[in-house]
Amino acid sequence: MALVNEHFLKLPNNYLFADIAKKVNAFKVTHPKTDVISLGIGDVTQPLCPAVVEAMHKAVDEMGRTASFRGYGPEQGYDFLREAILKNDFLPRGIHLDIDEIFINDGAKSDTGNIQELIRWDNSIGVTDPIYPVYIDSNVMIGRAGVRGDDGRWSNVVYLPCTAENGFVPQIPDDRHVDVIYLCYPNNPTGTVISKKELRKWVNYALKNDTLIFYDAAYQAYITDPDIPHSIYEIRGARKCAIEFHSYSKTAGFTGVRCGYTIVPKELTAATLEGRNIPLNPLWNRRQCTKFNGTSYISQRAAEAIYTPEGKQQVRQTIRYYMQNAHKMLESLRRLGYEVYGGENAPYIWMRVPAGTGSWQFFEQLLYGAGVVCTPGVGFGPSGEGYVRFTAFGSHEATDEALQRIENWTK
Ligand SMILES: *Cc1c(COP(=O)(O)O)cnc(C)c1O
């Protein structure tokens, strides 16, 4: 008899964005004349830049000729892309990586979910709260998260609240040791960032306690403030304690192209029960060679094009486009008296809902009152209750219209 992995049954079966879609559809049925504007889901809207499109066309043509056809590529990714990453994303920041420390992936979601295969099932994990749901759910699936309480908290997960009260700076756990900690900066969903000084505290904590840091840098391209680190490896000692994830999804509109990369430094180790330190880089390489056959050649050529002078300039222009939305949203929501955070080095605005209102309640009020969709903060974790998330990924026109409607509705 095939027995099911019952850990899957512990996952709450309501998926945040499916719940939102259901509520929006119910609204549309009863209000067929209102055209709903979504500032909810974290997908981009602007097309791929010309440098990327050209590179993809060229790659397709190569694939269509016997002489230049490519089949399976290296599981770790093609050197042309890994070299471009070294030279452009790390060397200018004084970070010297070895090419074998870079693993090209098909997007950061896969690797942020899969990376936990490298560690035993009984490690304790810590997350900042609210968070990107993949970190916890992927641990639930193998039984590491324990049982889910009525408050939505998992028994084996340490939650580090990030709220307006603590300035969205997670406190280092002093009462309960965590073996693994997930950090995401700039943060989804709050749009807040971490300074070098605060990140250094985490690296020092990790070195002292043999904690492994999973650092999600999916939004690093949105950083404009020079004091905000783009990579955890800007902090001394981080190579001994951190794995870092990058994605081209939000950087260059690759949500449908699929490409990113993961850094597993060679100095990084995890211990056996007997206390022997095992380097994780060869283990991840083994894992990838066994379960992954590489990212498509076309996607990797597309990613390489982002590092050309034209590509860089075009990608920056699209990021600027989204950040103009973010700045307008901050300005306009603030003017209406709302308490808003993020939106300066990240494409997300995190807004406190009026006192006495829940996230879902505000979501419905805004939908029925203004025809605008946001994301209820509580969908990202218990500390997200009392907040909603707006994304800056809409068109200028849709964002302006949404803000106008919110203004009319609020007044
Ligand atoms: C969007 C996002 C990613 C990237 O996902 P892809 O699989 O690369 O599209 C990773 N982490 C966070 C926090 C995100 O919001």
pLDDT of residue 185: 98
Spatial distance between the Cα atoms of 63 and 30, rounded to a whole number of angstroms? 50
CB distance 389 to ligand 1 below 6 Å: no
Which residue do the tokens 């083994």 mark?
Answer: 286
CB distance 109 to ligand 1 below 6 Å: yes
Spatial distance between the Cα atoms of 178 and 162, rounded to a whole number of angstroms? 17
pLDDT of residue 41: 81
Tell me the one-letter amino acid at 225.
Answer: D
In order along its 411 residues, the chain shows pLDDT tens digits of: 999 999 999 998 767 888 999 999 999 999 999 999 999 988 999 999 999 999 999 999 999 999 999 999 999 999 999 999 999 999 999 999 999 999 999 999 999 999 999 999 999 999 999 999 999 999 999 999 999 998 889 999 999 999 999 999 999 987 778 999 999 999 999 999 999 999 999 999 999 999 999 999 999 999 999 999 999 999 999 999 999 999 999 999 999 999 999 999 999 999 999 999 999 999 999 999 999 999 999 999 999 999 999 999 999 999 999 999 999 999 999 999 999 999 999 999 999 999 999 999 999 999 999 999 999 999 999 999 999 999 999 999 999 999 999 999 998
Q: Take atom 4 of ligand 1 and give the residue whose Cα is closest.
A: 108
Which atom of ligand 1 is found nearest the CA of 260? 8
Spatial distance between the Cα atoms of 312 and 315, rounded to a whole number of angstroms? 5
Span from the CA of 387 to the centroid of ligand 1 (angstroms)? 21
CB distance 191 to ligand 1 below 6 Å: no
| Nearest Cα to Cα of residue 299 among 252, 262, 230 | 252
Q: Check residue 245 and give left, alpha or beta (phi > 0: left; psi -120 to 50: alpha).
A: beta
Cβ-count burial 355-370 (b if 16+ within 10 Å, e if not) = eeeebbebbbebbeeb
Q: Take atom 12 of ligand 1 and give the residue whose Cα is closest.
A: 218
CB distance 42 to ligand 1 below 6 Å: yes
| Nearest Cα to Cα of residue 115 among 151, 142, 155 | 142
Single pTM value for the model: 0.97
CB distance 247 to ligand 1 below 6 Å: yes
Which residue do the tokens 């999804």 mark?
Answer: 249
Q: Which residues contact 186 (CB under 8 A, 6 or more apart)?
A: 192, 193, 219, 220, 222, 223, 228, 342, 345, 346
Lookup: tokens for 155: 């028994």
Tell me the one-letter amino acid at 114.
Answer: N
- 3-state DSSP of 31-86: CCCCCCEECCCCCCCCCCCHHHHHHHHHHHHHHCCHHHCCCCCCCCCCHHHHHHHH
pLDDT of residue 187: 98
| CA 152 vs CA 179, 181, 359, 384, 406: distances in Å | 22, 19, 15, 12, 30
Which atom of ligand 1 is found nearest the CA of 108? 8
pLDDT of residue 216: 98
Q: Are 38 and 402 in contact (CB under 8 A)?
A: no
Q: Are 121 and 142 in contact (CB under 8 A)?
A: yes
Alpha-helical runs (H) found in 49-189: 50-63, 79-85, 108-114, 134-140
Which atom of ligand 1 is found nearest the CA of 187? 13
Intra-chain end-to-end CA distance of the chain, in Å: 62
Spatial distance between the Cα atoms of 38 and 41, rounded to a whole number of angstroms? 7
| Nearest Cα to Cα of residue 47 among 409, 299, 410, 393 | 393
